């Protein structure tokens, strides 16, 4: 793993926490418990982009973002995830869920984009590789497909913070791998805004990385460029901010960066060290 990326995440997140954690613990209003039974329907219109680390693949433009969720006392549906509550602690701060979700790693290999506008600033040394790197393009690879994962998640909430751990495995026969994620989220008491910062680290198994970033006989690539990655960690940082203009209308802004592990960035088809996404738009909740 590229430790310099993780160090930058760690110090940035600790600096934010040092500024806000005291105030956050005193402000329970920033905690947003989910209603026992509720539909949540919303849509945001704006502009943003998700960068692709894959050589020859297009950055993906974001125009419309939908939010469709339903939470019942036992089951829930949250966009591309469906699951059930299997345990709650006596104080209601801890919970466990079992779920099925749709993994979208394959979208990073798509060379079709709505717009040719690129992200103007990719932080943390996300520049392209030197020209000496073997020039393997996404178009030379066999199709990488989307996967369906099943998993379990443990969550503990306290005041304005949330700690979670999840593990999930492919059940669609796409890559037969798994991933595990540990995360910490805190609400920041910014006046007139709901702001959350999330730091997380995920482990992606060798089977997952091999399917998406390995190069072998399925691909139209010279055998000298065949590559077999190992498993590896991906640290990530997410900042999301929303501002209510009325009970229904609001503004949403987010920025996210995920650092790829060395075993992924060493693949001849990868030419960036991470994935950066940003978005700003006007939202409406029904």
At 41, is the secondary structure helix, strand, or coil?
strand
Q: Give the DSSP per-residue string, 179-211.
A: EEEEEEEEEE--TT-EEEEEEEEEEE-HHHHHH
Average pLDDT over residues 129-134: 51
Mean pLDDT calculated for residue range 48-62: 92
| Of 67-71, 74-78, 132-136, 216-220, the least confident | 132-136
- Does residue 152 form part of some domain? no
**What is the number of structural domains in the chain?**
1
Structure-token match 């805004």, residue found: 193
Distances (CA, A) of 260 to 6, 78, 163: 10, 26, 22
How many helices (H) and strands (E) the chain has is answered by 3, 12
With CA atoms as reference, report the closest residue to 29 among 156, 251, 190, 249.
190
Residue 236 has pLDDT above 50, yes or no: yes
Specify if 117 maps to a domain. yes
pLDDT score at 38: 85
* Parent domain of 260: 3-70+108-145+157-171+178-285
- State mean pLDDT over 142-158: 97
Average pLDDT value for residue range 256-275: 96
Q: Does residue 97 form part of some domain?
A: no
Please report whether residue 89 resides in a domain: no
> Is 115 contained in some domain?
yes
Look at residue 216 in the predicted model and tell me its pLDDT.
97
What DSSP element (H or E) covers 2?
none
- Does the residue 206 lie in any domain? yes
Is the pLDDT assigned to residue 22 strictly greater than 60? Answer: no
Share of the chain above pLDDT 70, in %: 79
Q: Are 67 and 40 in contact, with CB atoms under 8 Å apart? A: yes
Distance, in Å, from the CA atom of 144 to the CA atom of 137, rounded to the nearest integer, reads: 13
pLDDT at 135: 72
pTM, 2 dp: 0.81
**pLDDT one-digit tens code per residue, 167-201:** 999 999 999 999 999 999 999 999 999 999 999 99
Is residue 81 domain-resident? no
């Amino acid at each position: 793993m590229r430790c310099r990326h993780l160090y930058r995440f760690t110090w940035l997140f600790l600096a934010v926490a040092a500024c806000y954690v005291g105030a956050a613990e005193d402000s329970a209003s920033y905690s947003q418990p989910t209603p026992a039974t509720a539909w949540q329907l919303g849509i945001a219109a704006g502009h943003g982009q998700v960068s692709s680390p894959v050589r020859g693949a297009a950055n993906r433009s974001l125009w419309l973002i939908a939010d469709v969720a339903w939470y019942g006392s036992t089951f829930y549906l949250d966009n591309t995830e469906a699951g059930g509550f299997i345990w709650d602690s006596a104080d209601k701060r801890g919970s466990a869920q079992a779920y099925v979700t749709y993994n979208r790693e394959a979208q990073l290999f798509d060379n079709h984009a709505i717009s040719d506008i690129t992200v103007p600033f990719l932080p943390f040394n996300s520049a392209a590789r030197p020209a000496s790197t073997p020039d393997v393009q996404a178009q030379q690879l066999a199709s990488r497909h989307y996967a369906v994962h099943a998993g379990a998640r443990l969550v503990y909430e306290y005041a304005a913070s949330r700690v979670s751990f999840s593990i999930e495995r492919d059940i669609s026969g796409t890559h037969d791998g798994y991933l595990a994620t540990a995360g910490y989220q805190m609400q920041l008491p910014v006046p007139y805004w709901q702001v959350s910062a999330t730091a997380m680290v995920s482990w992606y198994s060798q089977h997952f990385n091999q399917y998406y970033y390995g190069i072998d006989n399925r691909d139209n690539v010279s055998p000298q460029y065949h590559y077999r990655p190992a498993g590896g960690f991906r640290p990530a940082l997410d900042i999301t901010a929303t501002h209510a203009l009325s009970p229904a209308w609001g503004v949403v802004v987010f920025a996210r960066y995920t650092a790829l592990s060395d075993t992924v960035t060493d693949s001849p088809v990868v030419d960036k060290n991470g994935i950066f996404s940003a978005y700003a738009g006007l939202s409406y909740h029904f």
